[in-house]
Amino acid sequence: MKSRVLSRSLAVALLLALAGGIFLLLKYNSKASLPPGITSGNGRLEATEVDVATKVPGRLAAVRAREGDNVGAGQIVAELDAEDLRAQLRAAEAQVRQAHASMQQSQAGVASAGTQRTLAKATLDRTGQLVKQGFVTGDRLDRDQSALQAADAGLAAARSKVSEGGASVSAAVARVDALRVALNDATIKAPLGGRVLYRLAEPGEVIAGGGKILTLLDMTDVYVSIYLPTAEAGKVALGSPARIALDALPGQPIPAKVVFVAPRSQFTPKEVETRSEREKLMFRVKVKVDAEWLAAHVDLAKPGMPGVAYVLTDPGVAWPPALTTK
């Protein structure tokens, strides 16, 4: 019995070893079949992740998107309970009306003080003429001058109240604007069109300012990061044509281009296979999928798919038939 189990285990081990050998052989042959001027690297399809967070704290009232949903830019994806903000806004709007009413009273006070000053000035002028003619004494002139000075002071005070009233109105209006902004921020909108990767909060949770609600994938920025040794990375230029062959889409090479080449070498991540174990330091190269292809195949591009990215290092080399896009 034990010998049978041992035989079966050995058979399974041999089959796995044979399958691995065939896989490595095919992989080596595929790399060896590449013409000079084309280099390649393994990677996974990735997309830029954008966190959707709230600016203001509050209780989450609704989340209108689930993982896997496609949302458009500006689409409402969540809402906070904003009843307290609405109450504060109504109170602030009442303060604005009150400030405007006080401002009107102050302006009326300026008009009244101006009239009193005009009357005091006219009275002083008449008294001055009467004093010259000898009909009144200088005491009357002094009293009228004092009255004019008091009228000037009253006018200045009335104008000061108008200035204070204007400042009060501006402060009240600013308070209303701030509350309206906060109320608008209570409705969370998608900053860009994309696909929901994670739903990080649920209705009823209390979210702090800056709390994350969703994580979106920017499906207009899909790329593969590969790692190349110095000899190959030095030949790669920004904008170089590239192709991406995904394991899940055999026979459908994806047009792409190089958008980033790391200025410094780094340790190769463990999950990235290299041609030689001696190549410990590699340069990261970012290959971005063509925007037109993404727009036409938005449902095919699924981040996480493994594949191989091919980069044209010699502009004079033509793509082989297997990497020619249709």
pLDDT of residue 140: 79
Query: How many angstroms separate the CA atoms of 16 and 6, rounded?
Result: 15
pLDDT of residue 146: 83
Mean pLDDT value across residues 64-75: 92
DSSP for residue 216 = E
Query: How many angstroms separate the CA atoms of 123 and 150, rounded?
Result: 13
Query: How many angstroms separate the CA atoms of 122 and 130, rounded?
Result: 13
Does an H or E element contain 188, and which? strand 187-189
Q: What is the pLDDT of residues 108-125, one digit of tens each?
A: 877 887 888 888 788 777
Question: Please, what is the average pLDDT of the chain?
Answer: 82
DSSP for residue 246 = E
pTM: 0.64
pLDDT band at 287 (very low <50, low <70, confident <90, very high): very high
Inter-axis angle of helices 83-133 and 138-185, to 10 degrees? 170
- Cα 181 versus chain centre, distance: 17
Structure token pair of residue 278: 């001696």
Query: How many angstroms separate the CA atoms of 196 and 70, rounded?
Result: 6
What residues does 41 pair with on adjacent strands? 309
Q: Which amino acid is at 179?
A: L
pLDDT of residue 188: 94
Q: What is the pLDDT of residues 133-175, one digit of tens each?
A: 777 677 777 787 887 788 778 778 778 777 887 788 888 889 9
Q: Among all chains, which residue has been given the structure tokens 């593969």?
A: 224
Does an H or E element contain 257, and which? strand 254-261
Q: What is the pLDDT of residues 171-192, one digit of tens each?
A: 888 999 999 998 999 999 999 9
| Burial bucket for residue 173 (CB in 10 Å: 0-12, 13-18, 19+) | middle
